[in-house]
Structure 1
């Protein structure tokens, strides 16, 4: 087997879990990394296929049970990551194959894909270099990973405009260690990259996709949820970059094309919670699809009774039905586990 970084021949370590495929993820604070991880298990359990996710250690199993329950039953989002959380899972299922000549389906190949997901705090790789342990651990994981999930939050970008800051800070150091220090000659990183445009359920994102005429539906979806095909996701990304608060989001897209190989990039439009459907007709309604609602919590006392204020929280309104959440993971898993 050839070392993908140096081009040197190395012996494969088939018996070690360290040799299993490794997927890293990063994004700006609040981009939904922890929520996406929790939604993955829900998505796999709701779909009719035979894919499942299994924890490889106690911490990962605990995450599956606690976060899945919080998101689906309690209808609350996981808290933002403060430290570096490491989850070790297996994606277990069967991958359909086709013959090269006749394009007929062959017997599905059983797959057990080891995935090591590091969920770093969103602040890792801001405009700081070489600082905290979280940043160093994330960089180490990016260097040794074969697949990367990058989350682009269009709502945060519209308000704060800091996606480029958090993306390029990691990318520059990753390129320094992988490209500058190896036999790579084309200036491209060898990773497979899944770009997830999050919060598709938000009004601004859905309306942008609708205006661009990118909305479609899956005829097999009993709820009739709108979707954006993966082939059209990049176009939506380009449009959303134009409403960046800083005007720098277009450099994220350009950097992706500059540093990653085109055939190893795929874009996905995702929602960790999906759209609201009414309890009676159970169908998507363009006039009533918001699955997030503000709720008034306990009062916050002011200096006088007349100054009493109330905290407003956002809660999930209906059932959690993730959209396009498992697809990036399965695509990465299948690509990096291919012989």
Structure 2
């Protein structure tokens, strides 16, 4: 991929936060990013801004593609992962004659992602001793301290600091986990209250100021795919392999349908809480799968009878899951593209 024209200006310091309950797929979502970029048709591409971020992408991609394993759940709050998200976008500029024209501009955006353990979104954290000085620092491209200077942050405080400073948030909702745990709202509402306490004042309306991408994960799981197919939300005609898709205009409606099936009302409250806390103009929904649907190797087509790209196995060390076929991420890069373009200055 080539980008004609002059070198772009310094990267826009955009921050994207990743948010979700335990085992909602945050680490796997991050691991699928590079695969999604290489397989997709987007005008954006991704690379690490430091060795740790590059190593993360390399190692996690190896686990998904070669070993067909899911990354282990995050247990402790790691250093921030930083990537440069680079591509083209349209901008409107005023000419010297007072007219406006649309141009395509190469843009580089710094993605500052914090892969936090899901339990921290409910306050299940302790004091962190990761930094010898007790201080958490966020750095811009020049190496200057971009943090707020507060010392001795707990892991939860560091996480909330990060989310407050973000321009956009990716919220992962796993319908299969909610069927058994029914606690997504518990993790959601605590974080929202902390965000509102510290960030609501900078919003231009009654909502939180963030853009929010709601990702309904594990689209390939029968619990998610079957109701989407049965109720007419899934379309099998837009991809060459017959992979199902849900039009963006219907994803929010399908999310509400999936939440409404919760007899204990937790997911219903989650649905209403999102709509109460975040502006509909700054919220978009995506049906997502980090590994994608299973592709029948004999006919090279998606088979509705076998949508799930995961196999569960029982061994001497307990139950395990592994990826059944090739990895074909669904709507992993698209939320980032939307958040990047939505939060960038328009001109």
**What's the TM-score once normalised by structure 2's chain length?**
0.82
Q: Does 1:201 align with 2:224?
A: no
Deviations 1:13-42 (Å, cap 9, x if unpaired)?
Answer: x96x7x601111111000000000011111
**Alpha-carbon distance between aligned partners in 1 of 2:281 and 2:118, rounded to the nearest angstrom:** 28
How many matched pairs?
306
Structure 1 226/184 Cα, relative in aligned 2: closer, same or farther at 3 Å? closer
Q: Does 1:327 align with 2:334?
A: yes
**Alpha-carbon distance between aligned partners in 1 of 2:292 and 2:92, rounded to the nearest angstrom:** 32
Q: Does 1:267 align with 2:285?
A: yes
8 Å contact kept, 1:276–1:319: yes
Q: Does 1:63 align with 2:84?
A: no
| Aligned mate of 2:104, from 96, 105, 108 | 108
Unaligned 5+ residue runs, structure 2?
A: 1-8, 94-100, 129-153
Q: Does 1:89 align with 2:110?
A: no
Alignment of 1:212-291 (within 5 A): 212-217=231-236, 219=238, 221-244=239-262, 246-291=264-309
Q: Secondary structure at the match of 1:80?
A: coil
Structure 1 247/49 Cα, relative in aligned 2: closer, same or farther at 3 Å? closer
8 Å contact kept, 2:207–2:279: yes
Q: 2:149: which partner in 1? A: none
| Aligned mate of 2:14, from 5, 8, 21 | 21
Q: Secondary structure at the match of 1:227?
A: coil
Q: Does 1:117 align with 2:113?
A: yes
Structure 1 113/183 Cα, relative in aligned 2: closer, same or farther at 3 Å? closer
**Alpha-carbon distance between aligned partners in 2 of 1:245 and 1:107, rounded to the nearest angstrom:** 51
Deviation at 1:278, TM superposition (A): 1.8
8 Å contact kept, 1:25–1:149: yes
Alignment of 1:64-213 (within 5 A): 64-85=57-78, 86-95=80-89, 108-126=104-122, 133-179=154-200, 182=201, 184=203, 186-213=205-232
8 Å contact kept, 1:161–1:245: no
Q: CA RMSD in A?
A: 2.4
Deviation at 1:194, TM superposition (A): 0.3
**Alpha-carbon distance between aligned partners in 1 of 2:165 and 2:189, rounded to the nearest angstrom:** 18
Q: 2:142: which partner in 1? A: none
Structure 1 193/184 Cα, relative in aligned 2: closer, same or farther at 3 Å? closer
Deviation at 1:106, TM superposition (A): 5.8
Deviation at 1:243, TM superposition (A): 3.0
Deviations 1:39-71 (Å, cap 9, x if unpaired)?
Answer: 111110112444211101111000010001101
Structure 1 158/75 Cα, relative in aligned 2: closer, same or farther at 3 Å? same
Deviation at 1:239, TM superposition (A): 1.4
Deviation at 1:272, TM superposition (A): 0.5
8 Å contact kept, 1:162–1:246: no
**Alpha-carbon distance between aligned partners in 2 of 1:205 and 1:286, rounded to the nearest angstrom:** 13
Deviation at 1:247, TM superposition (A): 1.7
**What's the TM-score once normalised by structure 1's chain length?**
0.84
Structure 1 206/145 Cα, relative in aligned 2: closer, same or farther at 3 Å? same
Structure 1 28/172 Cα, relative in aligned 2: closer, same or farther at 3 Å? same
Q: Secondary structure at the match of 2:172?
A: strand
Deviation at 1:253, TM superposition (A): 1.5
Deviation at 1:312, TM superposition (A): 2.9
8 Å contact kept, 1:157–1:245: no
8 Å contact kept, 1:143–1:177: yes
Q: 1:7: which partner in 2? A: none
**Alpha-carbon distance between aligned partners in 1 of 2:314 and 2:124, rounded to the nearest angstrom:** 37
Structure 1 278/165 Cα, relative in aligned 2: closer, same or farther at 3 Å? same
